[in-house]
């Protein structure tokens, strides 16, 4: 025993010498925007951490976000920035901003806004996805959007609001929006959880709303996009994501429905081609995720990729990915700007990963598809009052990289018995290919349409990464996030819509998203004592993701593995180069009695919030679940794959799943990887990894 230990120590000593070769100088490298750059590549050409040493990473520092708010947060989704040795991040239930020393994690300053009732009523609470940084060479600022929808500019060195920006550092985003936010400034539904984007001296801000499965009304505030002067906070331009009466696209809303329909915001990350002065807006669904009977027509610019001018906000081109949206596909992640070569021709392209597992690729100057996108006949439905688009656009290339419909062949098939049981289970549902519409839920008919690649995705908000050296997009996708979409008639008290999401035989209830009503200002903090009188509780039921809880066969997922994948998609050829299952086989599947003892290849883990990072040689992403390793250790792995092949080359055990996408930087010659983790019993934490110091 002792001898083996000695050998082990020797091995460790040798390994640690090999970690940082003497004289390996790596230039300091920043991560200045949410997605590494305005093209949203999530790429840095760093190689100090590589296949040979990834598994030797150790914790440099960690930062717990519990005290950034009145209670801990279990859903930390941020990606920090690193500029000049300082890490900036949002965190906590108050969505505070922290500045940390990049090498040690020491807190340099903290800023938080106490917004009271306005934050309590906010549609998007909790810590958000991040912030933006700006400099003119002299001054440095960081900007973020509060839960209550205010744009805040802080002095990057001190964290103090810049008093010359807006009113004492704040711009009230509920004002000056070409609409009156209803019912009032405090409770009017509009907010934003993503990071603002700064290109040149323009800061661009979108808008977000409550989850849209059960809207209170067919009428809602609209999610316009605006550009502001980063120095003064003055509004420079606005883009109407729902056209006004005199603007092109208004006629795609029949019966004048553009007047009252809302939502249609840009809640995810925006990309900018600064050289060409072009901004790329991924627009979400209009009011009513699953029912569009009150907004007949194609509904521009709902679920469209829109290119606007950076200086004026004027539309240059648009492409609607989904006509008359009915599936909550949104456009959920940053468009990726990529300079590629197709058939010997240089193309300035934009590639859009989606919930529906289709990567749409366009010439980003002209808006023309790089490979033909055909309008194909789409399945039609029979929900009373609904309007159906006869066709939907389907790209000829690249092929879909994740499941976006359900056929019997997609069902669990570990054993013939399990397949039989799955078929019995789905008999109560409608299934079909991509764009199979929702049904009116009936006890003696279909309870719902079972969908994949809709509300959860596919690729959700973390988006993809892009390697400019090999012209390859890397995209994580959930491949088994089933969302049943059934519609029921709501009570008058619940909604004035004709239909909202629900299940026949069950009372239709308001569905809220994860984190709604859970921000720092939402309610009084928990007390350690014997509780207190019940506060007026709001209705709350699931919402958001669409895990399809309960749709299991003997405790196993209805859909067969892989449950999630990472795909490498070459943009010169429009081909999937490799695709792997991402994430360890979950314990409850590995240990399930129905399949115990069977040799099952790694299944991956169903989850919709995993983002990837690309470096010189690696693709890096964490697991979305906690599992037990063969040695009995429990945790979630941060994994590294060789980017050319998808082969796993290293991993590090983390105490909780990845919940925000990883980033990397070099400071003082050492490369760091920072990742947000949280979930289950583990509250939000940023963890910074680096290699051991050279011996």
Partner 1 sequence: MTRRLALTFAFAAVLLGQSTRSVWDGVYTADQANRGQALYAKECASCHGSDLTGGESAPPLAGSGFLSNWTTLTVGDLFERTRVSMPENDPGKLSRAQIADLIAYLLSANRFPEGKAELDKQAEVLKQIRIDAEAPKK
Binding residues vs partner 1 (CB under 8 A) = 71-72, 74, 455, 483, 509, 511-518, 522-527, 529-532, 534-535, 537-550, 552, 555, 586-589, 591-592, 625-628, 634, 680-681
Q: What do you get for the CA distance between the two ends of the chain, in Å?
A: 27
Identify whether 183 is preceded by a cis peptide bond (ω within 30 of 0): yes
Closer by beta carbon to partner 1, 195 or else 455: 455
The least distance separating partner 1 from the CB of residue 594, rounded to whole angstroms, comes to 11
Distance CA 569, CA 567 (A): 6
Closer by beta carbon to partner 1, 120 or else 132: 120
Closer by beta carbon to partner 1, 160 or else 633: 633
The least distance separating partner 1 from the CB of residue 363, rounded to whole angstroms, comes to 38
The least distance separating partner 1 from the CB of residue 588, rounded to whole angstroms, comes to 3
Contacts of 445 by beta carbon, 8 Å cutoff, 6+ apart = 439
Structure tokens at 201: 């001296």
At 3, which helix (H) or strand (E)? helix 2-19
Distance CA 569, CA 422 (A): 32
Distance CA 132, CA 27 (A): 23
Closer by beta carbon to partner 1, 12 or else 539: 539
Closer by beta carbon to partner 1, 631 or else 668: 631
Distance CA 198, CA 269 (A): 11
Closer by beta carbon to partner 1, 36 or else 448: 448
Q: CB neighbours (10 Å) of residue 50?
A: 18
Closer by beta carbon to partner 1, 432 or else 655: 655
Q: Is 467 a catalytic residue?
A: no
Distance CA 269, CA 283 (A): 10
The least distance separating partner 1 from the CB of residue 689, rounded to whole angstroms, comes to 24
Distance CA 527, CA 514 (A): 23
Identify whether 511 is preceded by a cis peptide bond (ω within 30 of 0): no
Identify whether 398 is preceded by a cis peptide bond (ω within 30 of 0): yes
CB 472 within 8 A of CB 466: yes
Helices (H), 133-235: none
| DSSP designation for 245 | T
The least distance separating partner 1 from the CB of residue 127, rounded to whole angstroms, comes to 14
The least distance separating partner 1 from the CB of residue 277, rounded to whole angstroms, comes to 39
Closest CA to 603 of 635, 639, 651, 563: 563
The least distance separating partner 1 from the CB of residue 646, rounded to whole angstroms, comes to 26
Angle at the Cα of 277 from the Cα atoms of 271 and 278, rounded to 5 degrees: 45
Residue from 155, 273, 299, 328 carrying the catalytic annotation: 328
What's the burial of 308, exposed, middle or buried (CB within 10 Å: 0-12/13-18/19+)? Answer: buried
Distance CA 440, CA 436 (A): 13
Catalytic annotation, residues: 328
């Amino acid at each position: 025993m002792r001898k083996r230990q000695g050998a082990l120590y020797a091995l460790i000593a040798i390994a640690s010498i090999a970690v940082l070769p003497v004289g390996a100088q790596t230039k300091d490298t920043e991560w200045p925007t949410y997605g590494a750059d305005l093209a949203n590549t999530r790429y840095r050409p760093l190689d100090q951490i590589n296949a040979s040493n990834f598994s030797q990473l150790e914790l440099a520092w960690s930062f717990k976000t519990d005290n950034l708010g009145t209670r801990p947060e279990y859903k930390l989704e941020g990606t920090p920035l690193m500029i000049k040795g300082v890490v900036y991040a949002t965190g906590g239930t108050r969505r505070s901003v922290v500045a940390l020393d990049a090498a040690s994690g020491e807190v340099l300053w903290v800023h938080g806004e106490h917004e009271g009732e306005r934050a309590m009523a906010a549609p998007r609470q909790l810590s958000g996805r991040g912030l933006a940084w700006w400099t003119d060479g002299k001054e440095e600022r960081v900007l973020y959007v509060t839960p209550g929808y205010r744009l805040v500019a802080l002095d990057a060195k001190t964290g103090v609001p810049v008093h010359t920006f807006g009113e004492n550092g704040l711009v009230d985003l509920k004002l000056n929006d070409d609409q009156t936010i209803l019912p009032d400034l405090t409770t009017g539904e509009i907010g934003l959880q993503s990071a603002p984007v700064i290109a040149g001296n323009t800061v661009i801000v979108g808008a977000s709303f409550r989850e849209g499965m059960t809207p209170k009304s067919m009428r809602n505030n609209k999610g316009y996009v605006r550009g502001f002067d980063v120095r003064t906070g003055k509004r420079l331009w606005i883009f109407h994501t729902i056209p006004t009466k005199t603007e092109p696209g208004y006629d795609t809303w029949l019966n004048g429905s553009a007047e009252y329909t809302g939502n249609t915001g840009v809640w995810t990350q925006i990309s900018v081609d600064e050289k060409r002065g072009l901004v790329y807006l991924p627009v979400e669904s209009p009011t009513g995720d699953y029912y569009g009977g009150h907004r007949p027509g194609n509904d521009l610019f709902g679920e469209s990729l829109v290119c606007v001018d950076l200086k004026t906000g004027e539309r240059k081109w648009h492409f609607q990915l989904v006509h008359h949206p009915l599936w909550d596909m949104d456009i959920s992640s940053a468009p990726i700007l990529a300079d590629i070569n197709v058939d010997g021709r240089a193309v300035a392209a934009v590639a859009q990963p989606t919930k529906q597992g289709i990567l749409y690729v366009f010439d980003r100057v002209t808006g023309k598809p790089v490979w033909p996108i055909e309008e194909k006949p789409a399945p039609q439905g029979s929900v009373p009052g609904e309007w159906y688009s006869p066709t939907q656009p389907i790209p000829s290339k690249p092929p879909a990289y994740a499941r976006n419909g359900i056929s019997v062949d997609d069902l669990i098939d570990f054993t013939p018995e399990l397949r039989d049981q799955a078929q019995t289970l789905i008999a109560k549902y409608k299934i079909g290919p991509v764009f199979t519409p929702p049904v009116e839920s009936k006890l003696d008919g279909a309870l719902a349409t079972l969908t994949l690649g809709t509300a959860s995705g596919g690729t959700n908000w973390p988006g993809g990464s892009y390697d400019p050296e090999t012209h390859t997009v890397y995209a994580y996708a959930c491949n088994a996030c089933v969302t049943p979409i059934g519609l029921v008639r709501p009570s008058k008290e619940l909604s004035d819509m004709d239909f909202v999401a629900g299940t026949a035989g069950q009372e239709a209830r308001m569905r809220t998203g994860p984190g709604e009503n859970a921000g720092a200002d939402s309610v009084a903090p928990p007390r350690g004592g014997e509780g207190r009188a019940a506060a007026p509780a709001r209705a709350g039921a699931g919402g958001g993701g669409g895990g399809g809880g309960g749709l299991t066969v003997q405790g196993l997922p209805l859909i067969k593995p892989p449950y999630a994948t990472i795909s490498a998609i070459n943009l010169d050829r429009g081909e999937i180069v490799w695709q792997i299952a991402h994430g360890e086989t979950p314990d409850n599947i590995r240990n399930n009695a129905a399949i115990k003892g069977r040799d099952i290849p790694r299944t991956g883990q169903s989850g919709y919030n995993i983002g990837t990072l690309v470096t010189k040689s690696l693709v890096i992403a964490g697991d979305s679940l906690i599992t037990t390793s063969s040695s009995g250790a429990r945790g979630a792995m941060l994994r590294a794959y060789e980017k050319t092949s998808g082969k796993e080359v290293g991993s590090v055990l983390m105490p909780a799943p990845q919940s925000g996408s990883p980033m990397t930087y070099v400071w003082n010659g050492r490369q760091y990887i920072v990742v947000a983790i949280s979930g289950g019993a583990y509250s939000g934490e940023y963890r910074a990894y680096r290699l051991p110091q050279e011996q």
